[in-house]
Amino acid sequence: MGTHPGLSLAMSQIPELKTWYDQGNALFKLGRFEGAVARFDKILAQHPEYYEAWAQRGCALYEMGAHEEAIASFDKALKIKPKYGLAWHGKGIAMAKLGHYEESITSFHKALKFKPEDAKIWYNQGHSYACLYRYKEAIASFDKAIEFKPDNYRAWYSRAVSLASLRRYDDALTSLDAAIAIKRSCYYAWNYRGLVLTKLDRHNEAIVSFDQSLQCKSDNPNAWYGKACSYALRQDIELAVKNLHRAIVLSPNLYRVMAQTDINFDSIRNSEQFQDLMRRR
């Protein structure tokens, strides 16, 4: 979410309103969202037609976690100015946060009519499509986000996840390599790269990728678990159990339960070391 750089001519001619608006935006940038809402409320109490204040109020409410209130605020802005891209975008993000992905996509479509080269809108639309398992449409949206902002490593990463969901593992790997080239320290991209390499039965490379992820973030149970899977598929019981233990130490409930049914551990499941780890509490 972001602040709107513009200010209506009428508001700029009323110094008091402009002061409150500027203060609201400044508080927003400082993360003081309740204070920002209070400033925008002051403006709207006197001049309820100022759509910029309604939209900025919506952005602040979103950041506070008040997503339904944020949507109501964006709707107020859109009732006054239906072609306001920022408000459509904000409404879409809030709708997605509430899990209303179809409605969020409708809002993003509207936003893109007025801001067709906004990489953030394309990215957020892609995320909503992915949440609906509509991966081809998600990839198309991420492609547009990358077209307008080629160094957006998150878009490259999200594109890879959607490609992998379609079992296009080689394409996913290329996309992950692009993400990592932009941000070498992106631990979750290294981690996902390891998972994709595991799917391709390239276990040695997968382990190297998980190790890179751990160099970026050592308390990263996903990477320890991924390494454990790779070693188990290589039937290296000792290293599989050792790495699985590290994952369980960091997140005991999740990874112990996962390992009990994960087919990646089938080849070592009956070993004494694996059974012993599963029994530990």
pLDDT digits (tens, 9 = 90+) for 173-201: 999 999 999 999 999 999 999 999 999 99
* DSSP sequence for 214-268: HHH-SS-HHHHHHHHHHHHHTT-HHHHHHHHHHHHHHSHHHHHHHHHH-GGGGGG
Residue 66 Rama label (left phi>0; alpha psi -120 to 50; beta)? beta
From residue 9, alpha-carbon distances to 14, 23, 47, 49, 52 in Å are 9, 18, 14, 13, 12
Q: Which amino acid is at 154?
A: R
Domain annotation for the chain: domains and CATH numbers: 1-112 (1.25.40.10), 117-182 (1.25.40.10), 184-281 (1.25.40.10)
Instruction: Tell me what pLDDT residue 280 has.
Output: 82
pLDDT tens by residue, 74-99: 999 999 999 999 999 999 999 999 99
Residue 108 has pLDDT above 60, yes or no: yes
**Distance separating alpha carbons of residues 34 and 39, to the nearest angstrom:** 9
Residue 54 has pLDDT above 80, yes or no: yes
Instruction: Tell me what pLDDT residue 11 has.
Output: 52
Mean pLDDT of 227-239: 95
Scan for tokens 């179809």, then name that residue: 102
**Distance separating alpha carbons of residues 40 and 55, to the nearest angstrom:** 9
Handedness of CA 64, 67, 69, 74 (dihedral sign): positive
